[in-house]
Amino acid sequence: MSEQNDRNDQPENRLRRELPAEVPVPAAGPAAEEQPQQPLTGRQRLVKGLWPPRFTRAQLIVALLLFGLGFGLAVQVASNSDTDSALRGARQEDLVRILDELDSRTQRLEDEKQGLEKQRSELQTSSDQAAEARKQTAEKERQLGILAGTVAAQGPGITMTIEDTKGTVEADMLLDAIQELRAAGAEAIQVNGVRVVAGTYFTDSGKSVSVDGNKINAPYRFKVIGKPQDLEPALNIPGGVVQTLEKEQATVNVERSDKIVVDALRQAKRPDYARSSSR
């Protein structure tokens, strides 16, 4: 008995007797899981929205632009402040000299502006004159080209066809027709595909005719540009071209037209000796 009491008196046994019994922990059940969460206050929502910060690319670009704008404004204000401070601290003589320099610079700029405007007007005038000169030159070249037979031409006129079944039409008769047409105001003439120019000549070639060395055969077809009301009567005058050809048993037909095309061309010939006398 004493031994048992001694064992009970051991420190371990005394500690075991002094400890309270284990408190049972309630098991987690459905009721604990379904407890509602407490709603966030306005300050908590604000903090949650602002932290941690979230930036988009567009926001970063806008922030950089605003920073640059603010920096530039700050520099400009500082510069203006320095200038104003310098002017406020300047003497009256210095301010007068600065105003004089500004007036002189303004006058120089105004003179330069007037000079540039005058130069612009001169350039515009000379440009207009040059353009008009080029236009007149091109028109003159076209007219001379028509007369020289180097360019094609079209316009109102007549077509004269000479049928020579007997072979009695000679070169001088065709040359008379050309002279009569020129006198009536013909501006461009073509005979059987050969362009008639100032130096054109007709020669007899057997029972046919040659124009500037080019042999042509009947029927002889004249394509003439000019005023039809003047050309046709000039051929039909008494004793004129038509009556002369009809006496040679040739048939002549003259037709007016609003559009005659003379497209036979001549190569421009450069003179060997003649030179322009204008300087």
Look up the domain containing 169 and give its range.
Answer: 153-262
Query: In which residue are the tokens 């065709």 written?
Result: 174
- The CA angle 216-223-142, to the nearest 5 degrees, is 110
For the record, the structure tokens of 251 come out as 């048939």
Share of the chain above pLDDT 70, in %: 73
Tell me, yes or no, whether 179 lies in a domain: yes
CB-count burial class (<10 Å; 0-12, 13-18, 19+) for 212:
middle
pLDDT of residue 162 exceeding 90: yes
Question: pLDDT > 90: what percent of the chain?
Answer: 36
| Residue-wise DSSP of 158-222 | EEEEEE-SSS---HHHHHHHHHHHHHTT--EEEETTEEE-TT--EEEETTEEEETTEEE-SSEEE
Question: Is 118 part of any domain?
Answer: no
- Is 244 a domain residue? yes
174 domain residue, yes or no: yes
Radius of gyration of the chain, Cα coordinates, nearest whole angstrom: 58
What pTM does this model have? 0.53
User: What CATH number is given to the structural domain containing 206?
Assistant: 3.30.70.1880
pLDDT surpasses 50 at 15:
no
The residue among 275 and 43 whose pLDDT is bigger is 275
Give CA–CA dist 245/230, Å, rounded: 20
Domain assignment present for residue 236? The answer is: yes
46 pLDDT more than 70: no
User: Can you tell me the mean pLDDT for 10-16?
Assistant: 52
The mean pLDDT of the chain is: 79
- Banded model confidence at residue 80, pLDDT cuts 50, 70, 90: low
Q: Mean pLDDT lowest for which of 9-13, 80-84, 220-224, 257-261?
A: 9-13
Confidence of residue 6 (pLDDT cuts 50, 70, 90): low
Tell me what pLDDT residue 14 has.
53
- How far, in whole angstroms, is CA 53 from its chain's centroid? 54
230, 158 in Cβ contact below 8 A?
Answer: no
Q: How far is CA 161 from CA 62, 148, 158, 209, 254, in A?
A: 88, 24, 10, 15, 7
* pLDDT, position 270: 78
Predicted local distance difference test score (pLDDT) of residue 82: 56
- Whether 89 is covered by a domain: the verdict is no
Which of 229, 200, 204, 227 lies closest to 215, judged by CA?
204
Residue 177 lies in a domain: yes
Domains identified in the chain, total number: 1
